[in-house]
Amino acid sequence: MTYPDSILYQVTKPARYTGGEWNSIVKDWDKSDIKIALSYPDVYELGMSNMALPILYELLNSQPDVLAERVFAPWLDMEAILRVRGIPLVSLESKHPLKDFDIIGFSLGYELTYTNVLNMLYLAQIPVLASERTDSHPIVIAGGSCVLNPEPMADFIDFFVIGDGEEVLPELLDCFRDWKAKATSKQQLLQQVTTIPGIYVPSLYQIEYQADGLFKGIIPTVPQAKPSIKRRIVSKLPPPVTKPVVPYIEVVHDRGAIEIQRGCSRGCRFCQAGIIYRPVRERPQEEVLQGVGEIITNCGYNEVSLVSLCTNDYPDIDKLVANLIHRYQEHNLTLSLPSLRTDSSSVRLVDSLSSRRKTGLTFAPEAGSQRLQRSINKYIPEDEILQTAAAAFAKGWSSLKLYFMLGLPTETLDDVQEIVQLVDKICSLGRKAKGQRPQLRVSVSTFVPKPHTPFQWVSQASQPELDAKHELLKQGLRRTRSRLSWPDPKVSLLEAVLSRGDRRLGKVIYRAWQLGSTFDAWDEHFNYENWLRAFAESGLEPAFYARRERSLDEPLPWTHIDVGVTTAFLKQEYQRALDNRETPDCRNKACNACGLERWQPECQQKHQKLS
Ligand code: SF4
């Protein structure tokens, strides 16, 4: 069922809905036994820049009996038309309504997309609540970083995939094939999949709360459901995706991309990705070199991004960059390195990419003071930060972007003042090198305590505290004339609530959506009043979730999800943060016994060397 031209004429960017892009895969609907809609709860341009989607798309479509198609959240203009005309949401490839698929799989990478999941199900004419879906409805599943605390979305999702999809999907598909062949009920499928490691079926667990409202525990209600769900970890990265779909319209990351490594061992204490993607798995250089060549051939891109949580931690990155540029020089290859450490080697590396692009360079010291940097385990000696800035100015950059966080645990006004002093020193260096004031953009985000991190117990900073710190920054940075950007702290408050919430938040999300909240991640659509009303009507308080220090012994709603890093290690790291003590990176130093030595062979070997 194609959206008629009369509809496409009325919406912005119709190419969001037409499909038919280069490299998209259209399989025979009638000859495919298992039909999966890969759903991204935001607009096409964002979804098409997501790294996981092409991996799953290729992996699933490589199975002869499986068809995987894409669907993105329709923008408001399209939604209005679908609602008025009663047209169901359809996939991009075959244009089948989502309700005709066997499985709808959502990718959840940001908590503020949750209402879009509900909206997409509604527009697909599928009951939003899992409990209201029958055997005739598709199975709704979800994966991605947010599902490491799945509870807030438990009312809407039939089951969650915890960890690397590449590792779980083959077993899941076998289970699904078996279930389809036997034609038994959805309930029987759920009881079967719950036995697969890494699958969490929330309806097979009962939640208990204490009389004072605190979470007490989670209890399996069937013998097949395990008390703890282990994150699945692929030990060797599968071959890279080299034939991704090429969008017709400009998307957020409008270039090819190759994952050069997964995971990060630096152990920044605020960073959830650094915990939930451990251990580090590198792609061999030759595989990267070959993969980039295939991307150029298959997609026509001449810009490719080398994706990693910290790109210059990749061994021999200089050699890789030099080899790539040399091997593909006739294609005028441009490389983009999206996530770089704050050190002079990064400047050298970026400088080696191209002499033409000197538009902007981004570094993330995160905290201004050396004490706070030690506390968050992201210590960069001030000399090194200044040398990095000086090297950038000397190489011709006149514009730098600096990322900081406000509201970090233990942060004081003095720490914030040190951000001002640091920016001041960088500004002076620029002036000395260039003879004029450099363009400095200071981007400040509000710290959000995340589950499975050493800061999972802390309270998010209060609004007056954040306002005072923001004001101090604003006044202090005036002198440097740097541009300060500061997103709405209410958005960070909601993120903090949803990321450390429990199952009771399902009714808040549902009510906020009923009140009209969608696209909460978009400033112009974020409606805080809706959320406050949804909380009030549900008898819950945002502050209970976001702005409450939890005791180290308090049961947490996500502890049944075992990411591999132990609670004992997180507690130890939290104490070290309070003591301003660093923990060394385990990549080149000894194993810190974070917990993965129990599961991962390379970690085991490294750990054994200690004993
Ligand atoms: S187990 Fe040891 S080597 Fe493995 S990620 Fe944890 S600290 Fe690093």
Q: Are the C-beta atoms of residues 104 and 98 closer than 8 Å to each other? A: yes
Rounded CA separation 265/106 (Å)? 28
Greatest CA span in the chain, whole angstroms?
76
Ligand 1 atom with the shortest distance to the CA of 595: 1
Mutate which of 233, 261, 265, 588 to test ligand 1's pocket (most atoms within 8 Å of Cβ)? 265
Ligand 1 atom with the shortest distance to the CA of 586: 8
Mutate which of 269, 277, 586 to test ligand 1's pocket (most atoms within 8 Å of Cβ)? 586
Q: Is 306 helix (H, G, I), strand (E, B) or coil?
A: strand
Rounded CA separation 364/581 (Å)? 20
pLDDT in tens, 288-336: 999 999 999 999 998 999 999 988 889 999 999 999 999 998 998 888 8
Indicate the residue type of 484: L
Rounded CA separation 22/25 (Å)? 9
Mutate which of 233, 282, 606 to test ligand 1's pocket (most atoms within 8 Å of Cβ)? 606
- Residue 219 is predicted with a pLDDT of 97
Ligand 1 atom with the shortest distance to the CA of 280: 5
How close is the Cα of 403 to the center of ligand 1, in Å? Answer: 27
How close is the Cα of 286 to the center of ligand 1, in Å? Answer: 26
User: Both tokens of residue 584?
Assistant: 């060394």
Give strand ranges (E) for 283-342: 303-307, 334-336
Nearest CA to ligand 1 atom 4: 603
Separation of CA 455 from chain center: 18
How close is the Cα of 594 to the center of ligand 1, in Å? Answer: 5
How close is the Cα of 592 to the center of ligand 1, in Å? Answer: 6
> If we measure between CA atoms, which residue out of 220, 169, 233 comes closest to residue 196?
169
What are the residues whose beta carbons fall under 8 Å from the beta carbon of 569, sequence distance 6 or more? 592, 593, 594, 595
Nearest CA to ligand 1 atom 6: 594
Q: Provide the 8-state DSSP code for 34.
A: E
- Residues of 319-348 as b/e, b for ≥16 C-beta within 10 angstroms? ebbebbbeebeeeebbbbbebbbbbbebbe
Q: Please identify every stretch of the chain with a pLDDT value under 50, giving residue numbers as ranges.
A: 356
Mutate which of 271, 276, 569, 607 to test ligand 1's pocket (most atoms within 8 Å of Cβ)? 607
Ligand 1 site, CB within 6 A: 265, 278-279, 586, 591-594, 596-597, 603, 606-607
Ligand 1 atom with the shortest distance to the CA of 279: 5
> Phi/psi class of residue 23: alpha, beta or left (left: φ > 0; alpha: ψ in -120 to 50)?
left
Give me the residues paired with residue 208 across strands.
217
Nearest CA to ligand 1 atom 2: 591
How close is the Cα of 240 to the center of ligand 1, in Å? Answer: 25
Is the torsion defined by CA of 333, 57, 157, 197 positive or negative?
negative
DSSP H or E run through 224:
none
pLDDT in tens, 396-406: 888 889 999 99
Separation of CA 154 from chain center: 19
Give me the residues paired with residue 257 across strands.
305
Mutate which of 282, 591, 598, 599 to test ligand 1's pocket (most atoms within 8 Å of Cβ)? 591
- Residue 361 is predicted with a pLDDT of 80
How close is the Cα of 525 to the center of ligand 1, in Å? Answer: 41
Which of 547-553's residues contact partners 24+ apart within 8 Å by CB, and which partners? 547/459, 547/460, 547/462, 547/493, 547/496, 548/459, 549/457, 549/458, 549/459, 550/456, 550/457, 550/458, 551/457, 552/457
How close is the Cα of 281 to the center of ligand 1, in Å? Answer: 12
How close is the Cα of 589 to the center of ligand 1, in Å? Answer: 10
- Residue 336 is predicted with a pLDDT of 84
Q: Is 396 helix (H, G, I), strand (E, B) or coil?
A: coil
Nearest CA to ligand 1 atom 7: 592
Strands 199-200 and 159-161: antiparallel
How close is the Cα of 51 to the center of ligand 1, in Å? Answer: 25
Rounded CA separation 545/502 (Å)? 9
Nearest CA to ligand 1 atom 5: 279
pLDDT in tens, 348-389: 788 777 654 556 788 899 999 999 999 999 999 999 999 989
Q: How far apart are the first and last CA of the chain?
A: 63
How close is the Cα of 572 to the center of ligand 1, in Å? Answer: 14
Rounded CA separation 132/136 (Å)? 11
User: Both tokens of residue 474?
Assistant: 């604003």
- Residue 511 is predicted with a pLDDT of 98
How close is the Cα of 583 to the center of ligand 1, in Å? Answer: 12
Rounded CA separation 141/143 (Å)? 7
What are the residues whose beta carbons fall under 8 Å from the beta carbon of 464, sequence distance 6 or more? none
Backbone angles phi and psi of 170, in degrees to 5? -55, -45
How close is the Cα of 590 to the center of ligand 1, in Å? Answer: 8
User: Both tokens of residue 247?
Assistant: 């969008």
Rounded CA separation 20/246 (Å)? 10
Strands 303-307 and 281-282: unpaired
What are the residues whose beta carbons fall under 8 Å from the beta carbon of 217, sequence distance 6 or more? 207, 208, 555
